[in-house]
Structure 1
Amino acid sequence: MSRAAATSMSSVSWTVSWTVSLLLLLLIRLMGVKTVPDVVCKHLSSQNIRSLHQDGDVIIGGLLNVHYIPASLKQDFTREPHYQPCTGLDLESVKHMYAMAFAVEEVNVNEELLPGVKLGYRIVDSCGRYPWGLHAALSLVTGSADTCNTTASPGASDPAAQTSLQPVPLLIGASSSTTGIMLSRILGPLSVPVISYLASCPCLSDRTKFPNFFRTIPSDIYQARAIARLAVRFRWTWVGAVIANTDYGHLAIQEFQEEIRGKGVCVDFIETVYRSTIDRDSRRAALKIQASTARVILVFCWYTDVHQLFLQLAKLNVTDRQFLASEAWSTSDVLLKDPDVSAMAAGVVGVAIRSSQIPGFENYLRNLHPARRPGDDFLIEFWEKEFGCRVRDTASSYFSASSSSPTKDSAQKVSPPRCSGTESLQGALHPFTDTSQLRVAYNIYLSVYAAAHALHSLLSCSSNISTCSSPENIRPEELLQHLNNVNFTSPQGEMFYFEGADTPAKYDLVNWQRTAGGSKLKLVLIGHVDGFDLHLDESAVQWRTGSSQVPVSVCSESCRPGTRVATRKGEPVCCFDCLPCTEGEISNISGSPHCEPCPSEFWSNADRTACVPLQLDFLSFNETLGITLTTAAVTGATVTAAVLLVFLYYHQTPMVRANNSELSFLLLLSLKLCFLCSLVFIGRPSVWSCRFQQAAFGISFVLCVSCLQVKTMVVLAAFRSARPGAEALMKWFGPGQQRGSVCFFTSIQVLICVIWLSISPPVPQPDLDVPGLKVTLRCAMASVVGFSLVLGYIGLLACTSLLLAFLARKLPDNFNEAKLITFSMLIFCAVWVAFVPAYVSSPGKYAVAVEIFAIIASSYGLLFCIFAPKCFIILLRPEKNTKKYLMAREQKD
């Protein structure tokens, strides 16, 4: 069994033992037995609980932790579990005790509230021990004799008469949620109302389980949600948590996690600390904080636990963490004034119980003096501690009263001098008399007023809830009914009422800032919480670095715009990688979980942060490719024109006349049109350019190929007509028939183009199928059939010409162009066969470039293959351009 488990079992057994004894005491009291058995009385009186008492017609009970809780002893199970007595006075709790006393005295001087009825109190120190608190509560409720020292304030009844005290109908107490749960469950069957000033567990709002419980502090739901909203507001997505191993800590962190769910905030670790093992637990938590990458730490603990945690962090030199404080320690003077923890505590941002002023309370505290309250042991102990003197001749401090028998060494110690009586709190700067920010004290103050107004309603018979009652016969169940309906305005002007067990939630937001010297810390108000609404002045916050720069606490840096979040397998959602958006998708916010696709006419920019309109791209005259193709086309047209001029100049020579000069001129003209029609494909496509370019291309090439086909047919007819009996063949291939054949073949292409362009012409359209910022504006073929017919007809004529030229390749040279036509048509067909797959596979404007290249290449092939040899003879070998030379070749062949 571990030490923690053993300690836990011992605590449970100890609590069970005390609870059984207390229930036995309660049972005996309810049965009317006046004398408690010695064994039970001895068992309950061993802790030496003391109280402050003031007599009155109606007594209300108070349960406060006036003293510190000492470290628990290790329970070895060899003897009955026990605790050491409490030592050390808690000045804040002493102030809380006198706040209750002041509130009661203020009620008594109020002529409108409880007229004719004097309100009294009995405040018991429970020392934060659950068994002692339960015993004290049952002692107050049952009115049983308390064998512990009971001190009375001035005006209290004779101590001799306190053997049987007046039962209290209401209890103000429970400084912790666990104590509140225990008190409410044990006192619930008696319907005794419990008003807590510090128990903030959300579970206590359940009226079905705790019908007699009320509180003047908001539920932890509100502070946990406020802290969660701070984390969300400052984008702290990676936080650690240190919590008290109690209902307070566990329920608070559960509510915090519930609030941050789905908001991108993750908890890296949760470390628990237990007061009985705080040294070991704080060391473990400090090491976890040091190892964690979280730079913001949430702490739901009591201030004494936080003090130990900060000391451990100081030993490890961990000074770069931003702490978020719960209301349990966000205003602790002990931490604020301790120089050993200032390096870790600077910049703390926390939720604090809302503060308020209590007029007259500071003067009340400054007028406290043992001479005026000789029976107040708490004041005497405080006096002796603060002024270092003895109020009484004999040792009267709580240290002496609760310690074991004096030893030889202690007897030899020099006792402090006796107080002179001139000691005073008037004019002294002391935390005890500082009432500038009353928080818990104000909650106690409101609790007294809530009890007083409920009693006023019960005793004044102004309500229809129940019958009238008298101060001597107040029944707790009747008071409980009136307390449920309390609604009043406090002396400070605050509207007060209970919503079930709770009051409307109000908190302060505080910040621990360095003073001008930098060595001390001060508490600065930076905002407030009203219900679930957070009001914060960010400019007033001073963070741990001393600047206004908000600290960063993330597991992974937020993904910048243009990227998306990609979670890591097996890790929290706050730990992720950032992947860039793909082309055509964007993310314009940080931390985007996914990329959004751009609309059809938009594309992502280079950073993938915005959708920009698509940039229309086309083959222009200004770019290199366009200039190159234009140059090639213009050069081809120029060369063709030059050849045409040569043929015109030498049209009477045998070389020109022997090769059907009329068809040659027509062929040159068609070739020039082929070169020039390629220029129509360059530039921004328009409705008319899209129609004209395909028609010009189709008709020009058909005209060109038709001329070649007719020339080949004429050669074949001339050769056949030279044979006996075939003289009449040439009459079918005279000049008129030649021109008619060319026009007929061309008109078929013209008809195809007219029908195609009339029914479904090409139109300029952006090519959205190809992804990218630049989209090609091209002439989209609305009808693929029409374009296929144009190409198919050109191909048909080319193949026919190739076949005829191949058949005429061996005719005599003086008539024969067949070899040249054959070679040119081979090049022509090869170019256009290669064009089809290249055109289909080329993206964007490059498809247009492929078509232009095919037009120019095939045109150059026809021009050079047919006319280059002839121009060579005409210009460079004029001696061969004679009839004699041609006839000689004919005879040779």
Structure 2
Amino acid sequence: MKTGSSLVASKHNWLLCVVLENYQHILALAFAVKEINKNPQMLPNITLGFKIYDSYLSATWTYHAAMQIISPNNKLLPNYKCEIQDNLLAIIEELIADLSQQIPTLFSIYKIPQFMHGFAIAITENTKLHSFYKMAPNGFHQYRGILELLHHFKWRWVGLVAANGENLQWFMQSILPEFSKRGICFAVLESFTSLCLCYDVDKGSFMKCAFEFCDRILNCKANVLVFNGDTLSMIILRYVLSTLFEDAIQKPKGKVWILTVGMELKSFVSRKSWDVGDFHGALSFALHSNELPGLRQFIHSRNPSSDKGDGFIKDFWAQAFHCTFQDSVLGNASGNICTGEEKLEKLPEHVFPMTLSGHSYSIYNAVYAMAHALHAMHSSTSKSKSMMKGERRKTHNQQAWQLHHFLNSVSFNNTAGEKVVFDQNREVVPKFDIINWVTYPNQSFIRVKVGKMDFQAPSDEAFAINEDAIVWHNWFNQAQPLSVCNDNCQPGYRKNRKEGEPFCCYDCIPCPKGWISNKKDMAECFKCPDDLYANKDQNLCIPKVITFLSYEEPLGISLTICALSFSLITALMIRTFMKHHETPIVKANNRDLSYALLTSLLFCFLCTFLFIGRPEKLTCLLRQTAFGIVFTMAVSSVLAKTITVVLAFMATQPGSRSKKWVGKRLASSIVVSCSSLQAAICLVWLATSPPFPDIDMHSQAEEIILGCNESSMILLYCVLSYMGLLAIASFTVAFFARKLPDSFNEAKCITFSMLVFCSVWLSFVPSYLSTKGKYMVAVEIFSILSSSAGLLGCIFVPKCYIILLRPDLNNKEQFLRRKQ
């Protein structure tokens, strides 16, 4: 014979709002006890039994049931016990929020193991009861799952409703900072307590209170509402929503409800008018479950005829199949008669689901956990009999408190193949199923598993959800809902927080010029790397174009053609002068100076090629120095020519001593000395701070400019200033000598040429300083070409004209005649 031991399970709300789905909890309990009692390998001398008490979701009835549990049968005498059988071993319970502190504390005084298959933050987070075992993961785990869900769908602006003020306070202290770290803030934080307190007042006050509560919740801007509550909270919420908007022409905007464990939709037989449409598309976290072998057959085999010991089956049968048993009919019966042969599998899913719920699965595991612990304790007692000096410890003397040592270390695989073990906090391995609720106009509904949260899995596999399987509320037209305080800041803009509002509410302001933001809702813009630049929309960094004055581009080609053309013209002029070497016009004004000037101008035109093309080390070294030296030679040649004209005129005057200065030696000395001083400046430049190739990434926003860094701007200005000084001296001397009588007086031509020269280089300075990149080089080349062309054209073109077109003027007689 087996000795009896009993479990106690709480059955919720069987009379107030008949929930047929809860009958599955009873069947799971009965199935587990039946399996254990039939297993000869487990508890061979013990028969498990159970008693079920209904709390009616009422504190009064719950306390009454608690007193009955610790009293003898049929007597309300707490602490009095006289039976040797029907030992109380454990309590399996689901507590509503209002009782989540008191009842566990009461049973902990007796050290009775308590298995909680529901979810209440107050008991799971704020108490440290050593007699308490949680078949549901704690609140931290559940909110971590909710946080992952919100983060996955990018819902940043949500509302929260907690079952009571204690839960709300716990959330704000413990969980809210984690949500803030992930960028989620709350449009509303409300406690359901105020609404529940109004329940005991008259109906008018309650409806007013309910309307104000729903107005704050349903009319907030957030499209997503998180509701942390329990079975009672869900009943009151459905009642309020159905009553307030029963006759409303236009219902409030639809929301995405995220419901915590215990707030599943249930079919209330006595409340068929309660609309479930508000919860269409809701997402809820449910305790993980798995199909148990044999349970479905066990459920299908149930009927009122064969299960005489089931005190609930007739009530369940009558409610589920809308029929009446004959033995309960007094007088004339109306309606359907229950035959007892109706099939449970024919019931709609929302009335009695065949799929095992998380609560039923937890109850089943709780029974087995207690049985394994009891078996371990019984085995330990049997092995130690020889050490007890003959003392025989009877099984019925084993106390419930002795189970704790074995429960703390219990570990087993259930019949579904899943491991059940308690951690150091006496909690099972945290797992959740994510359920999507789909409702229909006939008030039926189905639950669709769309995801999971497994905290034992690797971090990248812990959260999984199938978006394609989710059905959203009709308000959103099957598009994934958005829930943000304001529209996202698009790339190219950054967030600017609004004063006095949560951080999720912000304005969007454009990024500063040259800065970008390449993602939505960026807090700050950032600058592109030096080799990239911001596009027009300021949302992308584009590679800068490498630029320099090249031979392939039109500007480079044009300048090259001009330089070649002027070089060719100059070379032809040199050839022409050499061909007419002995003619008077060539000999006039120092023939050697003319050759020196023409040669200098030829090199001036050719030195422009040092400025075109990709800058290299050699070209950078020679660019400005070669230009400065050859131009100095040209200008000093012009100066020597001018001085020669003046001295030649002065030598013709009677008694003049200037004759001894007239000749090649003075002219050559001027050219050599002036050019040598410029060459010395250039040598100092090259020796101390030589120019080098450089990359300029900042002058132009969209370009990387390859150029030459002059290294020492002081020496560059010295070269240019010296050359300008010579030009001004030449211009001055030529200006005063322009009216001297002479047949081939070059002073007028030199005056005009130096006027052009000075005008070009005076305009060069502001133009050069106001341009960037390759255009600075182009301006300098243009100045070189135009000033050189001015000298060439003004001084030598008239002579070539006479040589080639008017040879009659190029003779000694004409020269003497004009001179007289």
TM-score (norm 1): 0.75
Q: Please name the residue that 2:110 is paired with.
A: 190
Q: Which residue of 1 aligns with 2:156?
A: 237
Aligned counterpart, 1:615: 545
- Tell me, in whole angstroms, the C-alpha distance in 2 between the residues paired with 1:246 and 1:353: 24
Q: CA deviation at 1:234?
A: 2.5
**Deviation, structure 1 residue 137:** 0.7
Q: SS of 2:57's equivalent? A: coil
Contact kept, 8 Å, 1:175 with 1:198, in 2: the verdict is yes
Q: Does the Cα contact within 8 Å between 1:66 and 1:93 map onto a contact in 2?
A: no
Q: For residues 763-791 of structure 1, what are the alpha-carbon distances to aligned partners after superposition, in whole Å with 9 as ceiling and x for unaligned? A: 33222241422122112213445434432
Q: Name the amino acid aligned to 1:226.
A: G
CA pair 637-130 structure 1, distance change in 2 beyond 3 A: same
Please give the residue correspondences for 1:627-706 in structure 2 after superposition, counting only pairs within 5 Å.
627-630=557-560, 632-634=562-564, 636-637=566-567, 640=570, 657-706=587-636
TM-aligned CA deviation for residue 503 of structure 1: 1.3
* 2:460 equivalent to 1:536: no
Aligned-residue offset at 1:105: 4.2
Instruction: State how 1:865-884 maps to structure 2 within 5 Å.
Output: 865-867=794-796
Go from structure 1 to structure 2 and tell me whether the alpha carbon gap of 1:437 and 1:254 turns closer, same or farther (over 3 Å shift): farther
Q: Does 1:423 align with 2:343?
A: no
Deviates more, 1:586-595 or 1:372-381: 372-381
In the alignment, structure 1 residue 503 sits paired with structure 2 residue 428: yes
Higher mean Cα deviation, 479-488 or 704-713? 479-488
Q: 1:56 and 1:369 mapped to 2: Cα distance? A: 28
Contact 1:227 1:256 in 2 (8 A): no
Partner Cα separation in structure 2 for residue 127 and residue 246 of structure 1: 22
Is 1:110 matched with 2:39?
A: yes
Q: Within 5 Å, which residues of 2 pair with 1:128-527?
A: 128-143=57-72, 146=75, 168=88, 170-201=90-121, 203-205=123-125, 209-245=128-164, 247=166, 251=170, 257-273=176-192, 274-275=195-196, 277=199, 283-284=211-212, 287-288=215-216, 291-301=219-229, 302=231, 303-308=234-239, 311=242, 315=248, 316-318=250-252, 321-330=255-264, 332-333=266-267, 341=275, 343-362=277-296, 378-385=312-319, 386-389=321-324, 392=327, 416=333, 422-426=339-343, 429-430=346-347, 434-460=353-379, 461=381, 470-499=394-423, 500-513=425-438, 521-527=445-451
Q: Answer whether contact 1:266 1:574 (CA < 8 A) is retained.
A: yes
For residue 186 of structure 1, what is the amino acid of its counterpart? Answer: L
CA spacing shift, 1:774–1:433, aligned 2, 3 Å: closer
Cα deviation for residue 709 of structure 1 reads 1.5
Amino acid paired to 2:49: G
Query: Does the 8 Å CA contact 1:390/1:418 hold for their aligned counterparts?
Result: no
CA-CA distance at 1:630 after TM superposition: 4.4
Amino acid at match of 2:547: D
1:311-363 Cα shifts (integer Å, max 9, x gaps): 4678544565433332323463569x989856544433332122234455555
Q: 1:3-18, aligned counterparts within 5 Å?
A: none
* Aligned-residue offset at 1:617: 0.9
Distance 1:135 1:241 in 2: 33
CA-atom RMSD, angstroms? Answer: 4.5
CA contact 1:175–1:199 (8 Å) conserved in 2: yes
5+ long unaligned stretches in structure 2: 200-205
Deviates more, 1:479-488 or 1:176-185: 479-488
In structure 1, which of residues 739, 762, 769 is the aligned counterpart of residue 668 of structure 2? Answer: 739
SS at match of 1:764: strand
> Aligned in 2, Cα 1:358/1:796: closer, same or farther, shift over 3 Å?
closer
Q: 1:479 to 1:678 in 2, by over 3 A?
A: closer
- Give the letter aligned to residue 477 of structure 1: W
The superposition leaves residues 659-712 of structure 1 with CA deviations (integer Å, 9 ceiling, x where unpaired) of: 334423432343343234334423333333333432432222112111111122
State the identity as a percent.
Answer: 32
Structure 1 pair 367/840, CA: closer, same or farther in 2 (3 Å)?
A: closer
Distance 1:183 1:868 in 2: 118
Note closer, same or farther for the CA distance 1:887–1:325 as it changes in structure 2 (3 Å cut): same
Q: In the alignment, which residue of structure 1 is the partner of 2:202?
A: none
CA distance, structure 2, for counterparts of residue 328 and residue 511 of structure 1: 14
Post-superposition CA distance 1:12-47 (Å, at most 9, x none) = xxxxxxxxxxxxxxxxxxxxxxxxxxxxxxxxxxxx
Per mean C-alpha deviation after superposition, the further-off stretch among 55-64 and 122-131 is 55-64
- Measure, in 2, the Cα distance between the counterparts of 1:563 and 1:725: 88
Distance of 1:690 and 1:376 partners within structure 2? 104
Deviation string, structure 1 residues 81-129 (Cα, Å, up to 9, x no partner): xxxxxx3433233442454344444433333333333333332222111
Question: Which moves more between the two structures, 436-445 or 370-379?
Answer: 370-379
Which amino acid counterpart does residue 238 of structure 2 have in structure 1? H
Q: How many matched pairs?
A: 785
Deviation at 1:139, TM superposition (A): 2.7
Corresponding position: 1:730 with 2:659:
yes
Residues 763, 782 of structure 1: 8 Å contact kept = yes
Query: Which amino acid letter does the alignment assign opposite residue 257 of structure 2?
Result: F
TM-score by length of 2: 0.81
Question: Using the alignment, how far apart are the partners of 1:666 and 1:491 within structure 2?
Answer: 111
Distance 1:873 1:226, change over 3 A: same
Q: What per-residue deviation string (whole Å, max 9, x for no partner) do you get for residues 467-512 of structure 1?
A: 9854544444334444334334434444323223311112222233
Summarize the Cα distance change of 1:593–1:352 in structure 2 as closer, same or farther, 3 Å threshold. Answer: same
- The runs of 5 or more residues in structure 1 that have no matched partner are 1-54, 69-86, 149-160, 396-413
Whether 2:722 is the aligned partner of 1:828: answer no
Q: Which moved more, 1:875-884 or 1:132-141?
A: 875-884
CA contact (8 A) 2:21 2:353 kept: no
SS at match of 2:227: strand
Displacement of 1:582 in angstroms is 5.1
CA distance in 2, matches of 1:446, 1:116: 21
Q: What whole-Å deviation, never above 9, does each CA across 1:506-531 have from its counterpart, x for those lacking one?
A: 2222233579x999643222333222
- Retained in 1: the 8 A contact 2:495–2:522? yes
In 2: Cα distance, 1:716 partner to 1:888 partner: 20
Q: How many Å separate the matches in 2 of 1:575 and 1:105?
A: 58
